[in-house]
Amino acid sequence: MRPFRQGQLRLWTALLGALVTVLGLTSTVAHGRAGEREADTAAAQTLTWTAGDPIDRYLSFPTTAVAGPTTIVFENSTATGNTTGMPHTLSFDVSDPEYNNDVPLNILANPNDDQGGKHSAEVTLTPGRYRFHCTIPGHGQMQGILTVTDPGGEDTTAPETSAKVEGEKNAEGAYIGHATVTLAATDAGSGVDRIEYALGADGAWQPYTAPVMVHE
């Protein structure tokens, strides 16, 4: 049996031998082997900030994200509650060494601009903390921290595999006529995408979708 992790599968080794004796015939019905896939590109994400009439806070903002390509959306429009035409900025602080300084973001938005107050920017976030704030004088309380984490890193822990054999046995403990093998695999890291098995030493790998019946 060989399990495949969900989505990104970096490097794993899983070995399982399930031996079924059918009328004295020993047959390997499930086993695993090492495999490797290229790491998938981190999925893009969209983070949204909104502002309105208040000058002491953003109306909504994210506090966490994962590292990688990101679309930043800042909306300060009539739709988000700006009834006065007050401009605000969404800026990332790049001067304080306590925070990440690799995203020099500075978006100015108001309901009457050519985007109707809704703007976006494409950035790449890295693990760490970003301080965001409004740079307009008097709006200093509009600030917060965005914490960015690594999306997972290397997953080198092998999946846990198991096989359950059921069937009628004779007095010597050998299965009579046939036996049914139920396979399972779990992976707390990347998850399991599918399981494959092979019958016999030279059998072809095939998807496991239901318990396998092995005959003499």
Q: Which CATH number covers residue 105?
A: 2.60.40.420
Do 142 and 58 belong together in one domain?
A: yes
Domain residues for the domain of 28 are: 2-39+154-215
Report percent pLDDT > 90 for the chain.
51
Using CA atoms, how far apart are residues 43 and 69, in angstroms rounded to an integer?
7
Q: How many domains does the chain have?
A: 2
Q: What is the pLDDT of residues 74-128, one digit of tens each?
A: 999 999 999 999 999 999 999 999 999 999 999 999 999 999 999 999 999 999 9
pLDDT at position 153 is 62
Which of 149, 176, 204 finishes a domain?
149
Least reliable range by pLDDT among 7-16, 88-97, 189-198: 7-16
Span 23-49, average pLDDT = 48
Beta strands in the chain (DSSP E): 2-5, 11-12, 18-22, 25-30, 35-36, 45-51, 64-66, 68-76, 88-92, 106-109, 118-125, 128-133, 143-149, 160-166, 178-186, 192-197, 206-207, 212-215
Q: What is the pLDDT of residue 3?
A: 54
Judged by DSSP in three states, 184 sits in strand
- Statement to judge: residues 15 and 62 lie in one domain: no
Verify that 73 and 89 share a domain, yes or no.
yes
- The reply to whether 95 and 53 lie within a common domain is yes
pLDDT digits (tens, 9 = 90+) for 169-184: 888 888 888 889 999 8
Structural tokens at position 203 = 């059998």
- Compare 43 and 140 and report the one with higher pLDDT: 140
- Same domain? For 67 and 142 the reply is yes
pLDDT (mean) for 43-72: 94
Q: Which two tokens stand for residue 166?
A: 């059921």
* Same domain? 50 vs 144: yes
